[in-house]
Structure 1
């Protein structure tokens, strides 16, 4: 079954993308993919009752978003379509790559490869829609992957959540490191 999934995603990325190159459905896919990949990662963690992993995917998403926008407003590169929005790096791609990286680091290539294939299609959709250059997409993918690597693999977490039970109370203890 795993080989079949890989073959299907390989087919989608390498054969279907050129067919949809001028299609608005591919652009829409990019919008959905940026949210769908990290959301799927979070749902899988919750389904597996992996609350630490759920925290990691949420933390990775927050830091990826913050880093993406910090870079956008630092670099201030114009988009190829000359719209008012900033180009570098691609936020759609960084978001999708962050979710894909989490799935790969936490569950292996069985989940990671299809998620990275979707991320590639999200990036392609941004270039074909004339919203980003290829270097924006590559930078976004590297950024999302690197941040999730730091959180999931290296354990650079800034937030800790722990349940506590007292004599007459139950709650959560949340702490943040700065």
Structure 2
């Protein structure tokens, strides 16, 4: 437990942005947090030699990204600042929530609570930067959490990744269900 938590804390600090104005710092934190939380989840799984868990993180990230962009292009909601990017749901928040959900479902609230706190800050950063409305952020968080729940808790997985080591080779066996 101790070394995994240290990895989590180290990677969280590693992704803290350099010194900017307060608004820029928060916006940069949102950019880093969307990647940092799922990346930390994957690194913890690899450290624990939990390769099936690592596959769950990857699969959850892929499905979350696909679902987020499918919704963005279906709903086609304009951003609050009027920029060209689509608003609903927040991709930054869905990505961070997916990683936080994995940590909570796999390792409990000791990992999940700080990861969800970071996710909340990522979501707040998107509203503060005038890139999203609160409903975009809440939808992103629910989407990322629900998809990771389906993959990690319910076992709705389409891909199996199994490492193997032979006398002269090392590799991965990948199986996909359609």
Report the Cα distance in structure 2 between the residues aligned to 1:28 and 1:171, rounded to whole angstroms: 37
Report the Cα distance in structure 1 between the residues aligned to 2:22 and 2:76, rounded to whole angstroms: 27
Unmatched runs of 5 consecutive residues or more in structure 1 = 6-19
Offset at residue 169 of structure 1 (A)? 6.0
8 Å contact from structure 1 (residues 88, 136) kept in 2: yes
**TM-score, normalised with respect to structure 2:** 0.84
Pair 83,49 (structure 1): closer, same or farther in 2 beyond 3 Å: same
Match of 2:9 in 1: none
Deviation readout 1:98-127 (Å, 9 max, x if unpaired): 000000000000000000000000000000
Match of 1:76 in 2: 76
Pair 165,143 (structure 1): closer, same or farther in 2 beyond 3 Å: same
Offset at residue 44 of structure 1 (A)? 0.5
Offset at residue 172 of structure 1 (A)? 3.0
Q: Which is greater in Rg? A: 1
| Count of residue correspondences | 161
Report the Cα distance in structure 1 between the residues aligned to 2:151 and 2:78, rounded to whole angstroms: 31
Offset at residue 165 of structure 1 (A)? 6.5
Offset at residue 21 of structure 1 (A)? 10
Match of 1:159 in 2: 159
Match of 1:131 in 2: 131
Root-mean-square deviation over aligned CA pairs: 2.3
Offset at residue 173 of structure 1 (A)? 2.3
**TM-score, normalised with respect to structure 1:** 0.84
